[in-house]
Amino acid sequence: MAPDSTFETVSTSKAHGGTLGVYRHQSTATGTGMTFSVFLPPQVEAGAKLPVLFYLSGLTCTHANVTDKGEYRRACAERGIVFVAPDTSPRGEGVADDAEGAYDFGLGAGFYVNATEEPFATHYRMWDYVAHELPALIEDHFPIDPARMGITGHSMGGHGALTIGLTFPDTFKSLSAFAPIVAPGQVPWGHKALGGYLGQDRAAWRAHDATALVEDGKRPAGAILIDQGAADNFLAEQLRPDLFEAACKAAGVDLTLRLQEGYDHSYNFISTFMEDHIRWHAERL
C-alpha cells in the first residue's frame, strides 16, 4: 500500500518517555476523514520495529476516550508496545446518522461492520477500515512489525475486536476484550445495529457475532482474555458473556473470562485492568 498523501499530524506530546500523537487522514474505506491516536513507546528510538495493539472503543466514543482515560501509556512504554486507537464510526458532512439521534446507532456507533443498507452503506465501512486500511496505514507511517499485531476493545469495541480477531487470526495474533457485546444476534443492541446496517437476514449477521463465529468454526490465533465487571448494568441484557463462554467451551477455544466483582462498564473498570491486557498481548506478540 502506498503511503497516504492525506496523512497529517494533528498533535503530539511526550508521555512516559514516548510520544502520544493524534493523526488524521482521508479514508478510502469510509470515504471520510478519520482521526486516530498512536502511542509510540521509547523503544522506537532504538530503531526496532515494535509490536502493535489496536484498541476499539465503544458506543458514543471517539479515539479520545481511551487516549485520555485508558491509562495504557506506562504499561506500553515498559513493554515496547505501540498502541493505536481509531474512531468508532465515520463522521463529517453527508454521513448518515440515526433519524432520532439515538446513541446506539449511527454516528459513534458503527459496530465495526460494512453496512449494506442505505443510507449507511456509503460510509459505514468500519470493518474494512479496521481490519485492512488502518493496519496498512500504521505500517506505512510508524515503526511497527506487521507480523506482531494484536487487537482489543471495550463493549461495542470488544465486539469488533472479537469478530475481527476471530476472522483474521493470521493478522491479529493476540486477542482480548473488556465487557464485549459477544452475541449481538441475541441482544437488543445487536438487533438494532445489525438489522439497521446489514438488513433483516439474520444469516448475514453471523459474520459479525463472536458467539456465532465460534459456533461456525472460526478460531483465534491463540487464547482469548475477557474481563467483565460484575456490577455492569448492561451485563444481563446486552453483553451476555455466558453465551460466548458456552460456545468456546463446546468448541475447545481457550477462553479466560474473569468476572470482576464491583466493577461497572466505565473507564474506571477499563483502566484498572488495562495493564493486565497490555501484559497479555506483550507475552503473545
Query: For 40-95, what is each residue's pLDDT tens digit?
Result: 999 998 888 999 999 999 999 999 999 999 999 999 999 999 999 999 999 999 99
**Running DSSP on this structure, what letter comes out for residue 111?**
T
Grid cell of 202 as nine digits = 439474520
Confirm whether 266 is a catalytic residue.
no
20 has a pLDDT exceeding 60: yes
Long-range contacts of range 129-132, CB-CB < 8 Å, 24 or more positions apart? 129/27, 129/29, 129/30, 129/34, 129/86, 130/54, 130/56, 130/86, 130/160, 130/164, 131/164, 131/167, 131/168, 131/171, 132/29
Q: What is the DSSP string of 25-53?
A: EE-TTTSSEEEEEEEEPGGGGGT--EEEE
Q: Contact, 173 vs 148, CB < 8 A?
A: yes
Binning pLDDT at 50, 70 and 90, where does residue 4 land?
Answer: confident
Going by the DSSP 8-state scheme, the letter that residue 184 receives in this structure is G
For the domain made up of 21-283, give the CATH fold.
Answer: Rossmann fold (3.40.50)
Distance in angstroms (rounded) separating the CA atoms of residues 250 and 243: 11
Exposure class string for 47-65: b at 16+ Cβ within 10 A, else e? eeebbbbbbbbbbebbbeb
CA–CA gap between residue 231 and residue 52 (Å, rounded) = 31
Of 155, 159, 277, 281, catalytic: 155
End-to-end CA distance of the chain: 23
- Catalytic residue, candidates 123, 159, 208, 265: 265
Q: How do residues 102-128 score in pLDDT, each as one tens digit?
A: 999 999 999 999 999 999 999 999 999
User: Which among 161, 176, 174 has a CA at the least distance from the CA of 131?
Assistant: 161
pLDDT of residue 109: 98
pLDDT at position 160? 98
How far is residue 82's CA from residue 76's CA, in Å, rounded to a whole number? 7
- Are the C-beta atoms of 82 and 54 separated by less than 8 Å? no
**pLDDT for residue 5 is more than 90:** no
CA max distance for the chain: 52
φ, ψ dihedrals at 274, nearest 5°: -60, -40
Known catalytic residue at 37 = no
How far is residue 184's CA from residue 190's CA, in Å, rounded to a whole number?
A: 4
Question: Is residue 1's pLDDT more than 60?
Answer: no
Can you tell me the mean pLDDT for 224-229? 98
**CA count, 13 A, side-chain hemisphere, 51:** 23
pLDDT, mean over the chain: 97
Q: Catalytic one among 104, 209, 227, 232? A: 232
pTM: 0.97
**What 8-state DSSP symbol labels residue 117?**
S
Let me know if 140 is a catalytic residue: no
**What is the domain partition of the chain in residue ranges?**
21-283
Sheet hosting strand 82-86, strand order edge to edge: 8-15, 18-26, 33-40, 82-86, 50-56, 144-153, 172-178, 224-229, 255-260
Residue 85: per-residue pLDDT = 98
